[in-house]
Amino acid sequence: MSIEAVERAHVTPLLAEDRWKGRIYLGEWVDAPVTIDVTEPATGAVLGVAGSADPATVARAAASAVRAQPDWAATAFTERAAVLRRAAGLLQRHHEELARWIVRETGGVAAKADVELQASAGELLEAAALTSQPDGLTLPSAQPGRHSLARRIPVGVVGVIAPWNFPLTLALRSVAPALALGNAVVLKSDPNTPLVGGVLVARVLEEAGLPAGVLHAFTGGVDVGQALVADPNVHMISFTGSTAAGRAVGAAAGRLLKRVALELGGNNALIVLADADVEAASSAGAWGSFLHQGQICMAAGRHIVHESIAADYLDALTERAGRLLAGNPDTGKVALGPLISEKQIARVQQIVDDSVAAGAALRIGGHRDGPFFPATVVSDVGSAMPVYQEEVFGPVAPVITFRDADEAVALANLGEHGLAAAIQSADPERALEIGRRIRAGMVHINDQTVNDDPHAPFGGLGASGNGVSFGSVANWDSFSKWQWVTSRNKATPFPF
């Protein structure tokens, strides 16, 4: 047994149930006003009983956070960075334990759990690097003897509302940089994933030495989210979720004149030009549509393929889909796990059925098997069909054809979303030129649509978000604000 394996064997579990059962984190673990069962999507088994918040809890947490925030902001940047680096180390040290929780609670396969843990550690490390970056600039002054500068200061208390699909990464994408830049945070995880999306964030930062009161974490329903948005002690909301919910959050925050970062849904285009390598393109298409059962905002929801190679592309994509087994990722070697809930799988089935009724053809898949939905390829798709118009959020690859670049761009830009796009071509310069015409916050050439690096700007346009980006230096814009400071060498009289 290696030294690393010996060390892992003697690690105290980070998510030991006696710490979080029936509790929430308000700077310390306290009994929750409500409890909910944590269920495994693949089997329906109860994995544990988590604490859940109510609106009164939100008020208590926000009041505590606003008191703790000034001292945290005044903490040396080296210590803030050290806390975040220690948290990243804990994720790495507890990888095996946490990967199993991700598999069982989110329904993701083992490879998805590995990716999520690596990405989450990356978010923490990238945030730690923010703390030592320049936080202002010197401005010229027209008045002799006056020094003028602009500096970035914390927003204050940041409310984070995180989703269920990549609950750890998408919570830390906001929590980590907000903390790095001196803010306090109140985190609401999704009720589908209260452990990985909330309890784990609290535990890893608690163990890393984050001072009490700087972070509060709990799950809750719509009423808890609404209370978080409305609370006067919360100065900013970072929301990741559906476009419909994001519109409500944005409207409420706007009325209260609060800063809001909205990362919403996507219906992303993968354009395959006539000169593309069909095998490579179909591989990109399969990965983009079927990874984590298509439950990713960046998933390839529209395969826009030149008519001259459409038949070959469909054959290749269908063959790849047929190799992908769906089943319980905790007990079998499968490529696709369950969808997150009965509501979600019923929705995916309805979209597929309605599109087939409208004239689309099933090449493979298309029929649920309990909580599982197979990799599905749909051809003869029209741009008015539900499978093309809606964000499916399931393992469904609709294929539509085009004749020329103008038609491909029009098909890609059809609808309100504008998150990600990818273009496959033997001519990357031509692909880049087409990419410049696509309304999307992220465009990838000879790649697929699901890309996310902690150091790269991430944000959508239109119904995919309000253009506020996450990632590296973009986080300065999201989680801090400008303050202008002047200083005179000595006080001088004015005309009055």
Measure the CA–CA gap between 45 and 389, rounded to whole angstroms: 35
- Give which of 408, 341, 352 is closest to 375, Cα–Cα: 352
Is the per-residue pLDDT at 306 higher than 70?
yes
- Name the CATH architecture for the domain at 268-445: 3-Layer(aba) Sandwich (3.40)
Residue 468: band (very low, low, confident or very high) from pLDDT cuts 50, 70, 90:
confident
Site of tokens 């030149």? 306
Question: Which CATH superfamily, name and number, covers 3-264+465-483?
Answer: Aldehyde Dehydrogenase; Chain A, domain 1 (3.40.605.10)
Is the per-residue pLDDT at 350 higher than 70?
yes
pLDDT, tens only, 90-132: 999 999 999 999 999 999 999 999 999 999 999 999 999 999 9
CA 454, distance to chain mean position in Å, is 11
> What is the average per-residue pLDDT within 436-449?
97
**Tell me, what's the pLDDT at 50?**
97
pLDDT, tens only, 390-435: 999 999 999 999 999 999 999 999 999 999 999 999 999 999 999 9
154-to-199, 254, 476 alpha-carbon distances in Å = 25, 20, 9
**Tell me, what's the pLDDT at 469?**
76
Measure the CA–CA gap between 420 and 300, rounded to whole angstroms: 9
Residue 138: band (very low, low, confident or very high) from pLDDT cuts 50, 70, 90:
very high
Measure the CA–CA gap between 200 and 196, rounded to whole angstroms: 5
pLDDT, tens only, 207-224: 999 999 999 999 999 999
Measure the CA–CA gap between 462 and 55, rounded to whole angstroms: 31
Please give the helix or strand (H or E) that residue 242 lies within, else none: none
Is the per-residue pLDDT at 8 higher than 70?
no
What residue segments make up the domains of the chain, in order of their start? 3-264+465-483, 268-445
> What is the average per-residue pLDDT within 151-174?
98
414-to-158, 215, 361, 386, 424 alpha-carbon distances in Å = 34, 41, 21, 13, 19
Quote the mean pLDDT of the chain. Answer: 95
Measure the CA–CA gap between 264 and 305, rounded to whole angstroms: 26
CA 492, distance to chain mean position in Å, is 53
Residue 186: band (very low, low, confident or very high) from pLDDT cuts 50, 70, 90:
very high
Please give the helix or strand (H or E) that residue 118 lies within, else none: helix 110-130
Is the per-residue pLDDT at 9 higher than 90?
no
**Tell me, what's the pLDDT at 310?**
98
Active site residues: 263, 297
Residue 471: band (very low, low, confident or very high) from pLDDT cuts 50, 70, 90:
confident
The sign of the CA dihedral 113, 115, 120, 124 is positive
Is the per-residue pLDDT at 7 higher than 50?
no
Site of tokens 């089943």? 327
Is the per-residue pLDDT at 168 higher than 50?
yes
CA 223, distance to chain mean position in Å, is 22
Residue 10: band (very low, low, confident or very high) from pLDDT cuts 50, 70, 90:
low
